Amino acid sequence: MEDEKQHQKFRDYILDELSSVEKIEFEKRLKVDKALALKFKGYKEIFEASYLEERAQLKEKLASINNSNKKARIKLRSWMTAAIFILMVGTITWFTLSEDTDLYNDYYESYPNLLKPSTRGAQMSNLILEQAFYYYDDTNFVKSLPLFISYLEDNKDNDVSFYLAMNYLELEDGEKAAKIFKDLIKAETKTDYKEEAYWYLGLYNLKKDDTENALELFKQMKLLNQQFKRQQVEILISKLES
């Protein structure tokens, strides 16, 4: 029973069916558990071999149908023509819908920790915050998330709120990140990350195909006479207006 669960996990990972959190945790386990990594390697080889065998069998069946008689060839040709047409329509539709998502992937970069050093020791002024950034630097966003939340429950800090938003983005929870970015943009109290909030909120809007709001955010960001991502903002405005 345990092997079945393990094989299901292997299969879901290969087919990219795990959530972002599950994927991060599984990859970390592979790095530290050599036995698990060896089992996964063997399973992956068998899975890929099976996939190639199925493709070869399908190719043989299609060849057999194509060679059976002229009528069968005509039907197959018609079917393939229709299939290609449907594929082309689907591809064009997908390309149109995913173009903005591609821009997001092209321009998105994780934001480094510039606020707090990730050192640990008995003399730290705030253990929770230091620990949060320690895990953030280690890209262990599952562990850093609750620590940022815990710190902000007792401390109003816009700069730390920005990193909480980035933490949500890394865990594919864009809506929660977007809400924090909007609050930072509207905040009357000082934050060193207003330009960054515009940038990442604009990118998130691109990811969900909201080009109108993305363009508006990049234009507002440009009016700040910012140095952060100045060239990239100019390029994205040009792309979105064309």
Residues of the chain with pLDDT below 50 are: 1, 55, 58, 62, 65, 69-98, 119-125
Q: By CB neighbour count within 10 A (0-12 exposed, 13-18 middle, 19+ buried), where does 223 fall?
A: exposed
Question: CA torsion angle for 138, 140, 141, 147 (degrees, to 10)?
Answer: -90
Per-residue pLDDT, 2: 58
Give pTM, 2 decimals.
0.58
Domain ranges (residues) in the chain = 2-68, 108-241
Report the C-alpha gap between 147 and 153 in whole angstroms.
10
Per-residue pLDDT, 91: 37
Per-residue pLDDT, 61: 54
Per-residue pLDDT, 189: 78
Per-residue pLDDT, 12: 79
Per-residue pLDDT, 84: 37
User: SS3 of 213, please?
Assistant: helix
> Is the Cβ–Cβ distance between 51 and 18 less than 8 Å?
no
> Is the Cβ–Cβ distance between 29 and 36 less than 8 Å?
yes
Per-residue pLDDT, 199: 96
Q: Per-residue pLDDT tens for 154-179?
A: 888 999 999 999 999 999 999 999 99
Per-residue pLDDT, 36: 80
Best CATH choice for the domain 108-241 from the list 1.10.10.410, 1.25.40.10, 1.10.260.40, 3.90.230.10: 1.25.40.10
Which residues in 47-79 are b (16+ Cβ under 10 Å) and which e?
Answer: eeeeeeeeeeeeeeeeeeeeeeeeeeeeeeeee
Question: Of the candidates 2, 5, 10, which has an alpha carbon nearest to the alpha carbon of residue 44?
Answer: 10
